Amino acid sequence: MDFSQLFDTVDTVTPGTGSGVFTTEHFLVLSLMLMLIILIAYRFKRSEQKTRSRILTGVMLFVLINEILKDIYLAWLGRLDWAHLPLHMCGINVLMITTYWFLRKDKIAEWLYAMSISGGMVALLSPDWGKLPVVNIMFWQANTIHAGLVLFPVLLLIDGFRPSGKRFLQVVPYLLLLAAIIYPLNKLLETNFFFLNWAPLGTPFEVFEHKLGNPGYLAGFALVCAAVWSLMYLPWRKKTEPAKELI
C-alpha cells in the first residue's frame, strides 16, 4: 500500500495515480458508501423519535465538521484558496443541512431533497477527485461528505417528509439566483462553482463540453438536471396522499 501521496490534493497529486472514474476502485468505494447509507437509514427507521433526532444531529455535525476540517487541513497544507469557498453545491448543501436542523422548514427540506440527493449522487458517480489515489485523506473526505449529503435528506424522507412539485418550483428561483451570482463570480475569481465555468476534468460532463463547447455545455447540463428532477418527483405526483413512512 502506497502512502506516498496520503497528504496530496488534486492539484499536487502525481498524474496517473488516481482511482479514476468508473474503475474497479471507484465502484468498490461507491459500494461502501451505499452500504453505509443503507445501514444508517435502516437503523434510523427502526429507532424511536428521540434516537432519530440524535442521528439527524449526528449527520448534520458530521458534514459540517467534515467541511470545516477540510478547510483547516488545506490551510495547513498552504492550499486554501478562493476555489474552496462554500459556493459549490456541496458546500451550500452543508449550510442548508445546518440551517434545516435549526429551523425545520419544509422548503429547506425540499431544497435538500432536490439538490443534496442529486448533487451528492452526481458527485459520487462522476467524482472530480478521481485524480486522487484511494490512500489519500482528501479522497475519503470527499467521498464521505457527499455520502452524508445524500444520507441526510433520505433520513428526512424516512421520518415523514414528502416532496412536493409545487414547493420545488418555489425553490428553483433561489437556485437560479445563486447561479446568476456565481457565474460572474467564477469569471472574477477563476473558480468553477456549480461547474458553471468549465466541465470538471475527468468526468462524463466533459462530453457536453466537447460536443457543445463552452458555455454551450451548460444547456446539456441543464437538460440532465431537468431529467433527473423529473424522475425524482415522479413517485410524489400524488401530492394529496397522507404522508407515510417508507417501507
Q: What is the pLDDT of residue 78?
A: 93
List the single range of 89-98, 115-124, 161-170, 195-204 with lowest mean pLDDT: 195-204
Is 33 part of a structural domain of the chain? Answer: yes
CA–CA distance, 29 with 20 (Å, rounded to integer): 11
Say how many domains are in the chain. Answer: 1
Helix (H) or strand (E) holding 151: helix 137-158
Cα 65–chain centre separation? 15
Provide mean pLDDT across the span 185-189: 96
Is 3 part of a structural domain of the chain? Answer: no
Helix (H) or strand (E) holding 148: helix 137-158
Provide mean pLDDT across the span 58-72: 97
- Quote the pTM value: 0.91
Instruction: Give the best-scoring range by mean pLDDT among 157-171, 200-214, 228-242.
Output: 157-171
Is 12 part of a structural domain of the chain? Answer: no
Query: CA dist 71 to 16, 51, 159, Å?
Result: 25, 30, 32
Q: What is the pLDDT of residue 246?
A: 43
> Structural domain of residue 82, as residue ranges?
24-236
Q: Is the pLDDT of residue 241 over 90?
A: no
Is 69 part of a structural domain of the chain? Answer: yes
Provide mean pLDDT across the span 151-158: 98
Is 247 part of a structural domain of the chain? Answer: no
Provide mean pLDDT across the span 221-228: 90
Is 157 part of a structural domain of the chain? Answer: yes
Is 159 part of a structural domain of the chain? Answer: yes
Q: What share of the chain is helix, strand, coil (3-state, %, to 5)?
A: 65, 0, 35
